[in-house]
Structures are given as C-alpha cells and as structure tokens.
Amino acid sequence: MLDPWGASSPLDEDDYERIIKEFGIEEVNEVLRQKLRENRFFRRKIIFGHRDLGTIFKAIEENKPWAVMSGIKPSGPYHLGTSTTALEIVEFQKMGGTVYYGIADIESWEDNGIPYEKAESHAIDNVADILAFGLDPSPDKAYIWRQSKEPLVQEVCFKVSRLVTQNMLNAIYGEKTFGLYIASLIQVGDILLPQIMESPQPTVVPVGIDQDPHIRLTRDLTRRYYKTFFLPGATYHYLLAGIDGSDKMAKRNPNSSFTFNESLDSIEKKVKGALTGGRKNKKEQQKLGGEPGKCMIYKMLMYHFEEDDDVLADEFERCVKGELLCGEHKSQCIEKVLKFIESHQKKKEKLIDKARELLKIE
C-alpha cells in the first residue's frame, strides 16, 4: 500500500509496473514525451506516468485556462526530494499554467505535531525557495495560501465528508489517526481550489508516486460531488533514493540528503559520500564499465544540477564504457552542486520579504 505520510516501502522497477497497472495510471509514451520535450522532467523520463494529461493539451491548443496545483508540508527546509516537485511546478508554469501552491500547515500539525505559528517560519523559507527556483508570483500567474488561513479548502472538507466512510479511507490509506484522514479531505479542497476560485478548468498535480492515494481520493469525490468540474489530473515522478545508498531520503538519516539551507562544506561532505555505480576497483571499472543507473551522482545531476542533456548523455556513455571514473565524476558533480546552491542561497535571501508578503505573515 502506498503511504503519502512516509512509511511506504522502497520501490523497485517491478513495484512501479505493478502500481501503474493496479491503479490505472497511464504511462508517458514517446508521442507524449515528444510533445513535452520543453519540460526536462518529461524529456529525461523522470516523469513516467500521468492521469488525464490530455485535458491540459486540449486547453493549451484551444487557448483556455488551466492550472498546476501542488504544495508542501511546512515541516522543514527544502531538500532534494521535495525540491523535485517545486521544479516541476516551475516547468508547468512556463508552459502556461496558473500555479496554485498550498502550504499544508494543517497536515503538518496532524502528521508532525508542528503548531501553525512554528510552521510559519518554515512556510516563508519554503516559498522563498520556490521563488528562487523561478516561480513567477504575479497575481495572474500564481496563488499561494496556507490551509489554516483559507476557508475555501476547509469548507470542501465538510462538504465532501458526507460521501466518505471509515472503510473507504481505510482502503485508500490503511489505518491512520483521524486527524490525517481530515487532512486528506482538506487536501481535496487544495486540489480543487483552482476550479472553486475561478471556473471548471483542467488541473494537473505533479507528485511522487507515493502521493497517488490523495489523487485517487480527490478524483473520486470530484466525480461524485463536484460533477461539473474537471477530474484533477496528475503527473508522477520516480522517487529519489537516499544519496548515500539508503532506501529513501529521511530526516533520521542526515547523510541520505541535503537541504538547500545547508552550508557548502556540509553539502560537499555529503556528496563526497554519495553512492556511485562504480566497480570494486579502477581496473575492473575500466574493463566492465560503470553502472550509472545505480549512481546517485548521475541521478542528482539529472534531476537537479545539470541543464545540458548532451553533457548527461556523454557522462552516461563514458561511464558505461569505463572511461569516466567515479572520482572524476564526483569532483565534477561537487563543483556543479556547490555553484548551484551558492547561487540559489543568494537569490533566496533577497526573496524572504516577498515570501512573507505572499503568505500575509507580518
């Protein structure tokens, strides 16, 4: 069972195939990928599946409004995993979608016990990050809210709850505290907010596969309650494992990831310790070639830190041939990561006041 609150088991290729079939997710075929080549997450096959992406294409072709909705739980700073979705949001905005970005402080309280007041500082930090990634916060291009301060999303929770049973929530999420069930119903309001605030319009929600239970719940309740609305669509990206070779990025294992607030020295140390796809020794690697599919250095660059597809393709090929050794590749990666983080932190520092203004926090 997929657990959007973080207890899902690690997923391998067979798991993804099973989930696609079991839950009716559409695979991103080559025709679709070519249409979306401007979006690097499609082009690099990081996004592997979707629901109802065709409605977005139709809206673009007919010059009609459409939205991209996602958000973040303000429980700490951005790290490699959470930043993937933020970067996808920016890509969809460039394609013409209006961004709706929810700060899930109610969920953060229910899941992590973080009071709303304490979550404010995380929220400001998180919004400053996505602005530094390139989000355009213009009123006609983006709307940002906190769940605890947006009555519209809270109203949806009460409206749709008459259609929800305990057995239904158990089947989707397993046995959880009732507060998490309530948070999931408020998230239905988050996802439907573009259509509630404006008018029925296609909406795409970029998520990792572990968040699909929320998408399925929202689509089901939209079908039954908001019958004139478009069913919210979604895109699904592969989840990054821990950069140290652990199954997943987790706060209890600080070497599994790094945040965008960390010192450059700390980040450099973690990247130096990242898992590679190298063989036992130099001689064996030159003979057999490396395994970039297992290499977190390659994956970090592919997801976040390398803009040039040709450079990635060359590194992959040279690794497979045994021409690119792990030490050399790590050194190149460290240079790119530190350059990106240093630039990002400088941009972000100048955007803190803007983030505070957008969130209406004094």
Residues 142, 136 contacting (CB under 8 angstroms): yes
Which tens digit of pLDDT belongs to each residue from 256-265? Answer: 999 999 999 9
**CA pair distance 105, 171, nearest whole angstrom:** 25
CATH 1.10.240.10 in the chain: give the residue spans: 254-349
**CA pair distance 58, 37, nearest whole angstrom:** 17
The predicted pLDDT at position 37 comes to 87
Query: Domain 254-349: which CATH class?
Result: mainly alpha
Chain centroid offset of residue 310 CA? 24
What parts of the chain have a pLDDT lower than 70?
7-10
Q: How many CB atoms lie within 10 A of CB 263?
A: 11
Residues 50, 26 contacting (CB under 8 angstroms): yes
For 242-260, give one letter per residue: b (16+ CB within 10 A) or e.
Answer: bbbebebbeeeeeebbbbb
Which tens digit of pLDDT belongs to each residue from 159-197? Answer: 999 999 999 999 999 999 999 999 999 999 999 999 999
**CA pair distance 239, 43, nearest whole angstrom:** 17
The predicted pLDDT at position 362 comes to 85
The reported pTM is: 0.94
- Helix then strand then coil, % of the chain, to nearest 5: 55, 10, 35
The predicted pLDDT at position 112 comes to 93
CATH 3.40.50.620 in the chain: give the residue spans: 13-239
237 CB-near residues (< 8 Å, 6+ apart): 41, 46, 47, 48, 84, 85, 88, 206, 207, 208, 209
Q: What CATH architecture does domain 13-239 belong to? A: 3-Layer(aba) Sandwich (3.40)
55 CB-near residues (< 8 Å, 6+ apart): 66, 202, 230, 233
Residues 123, 357 contacting (CB under 8 angstroms): no
What pairing do the DSSP bridges indicate for beta strands 142-146 and 47-51? unpaired
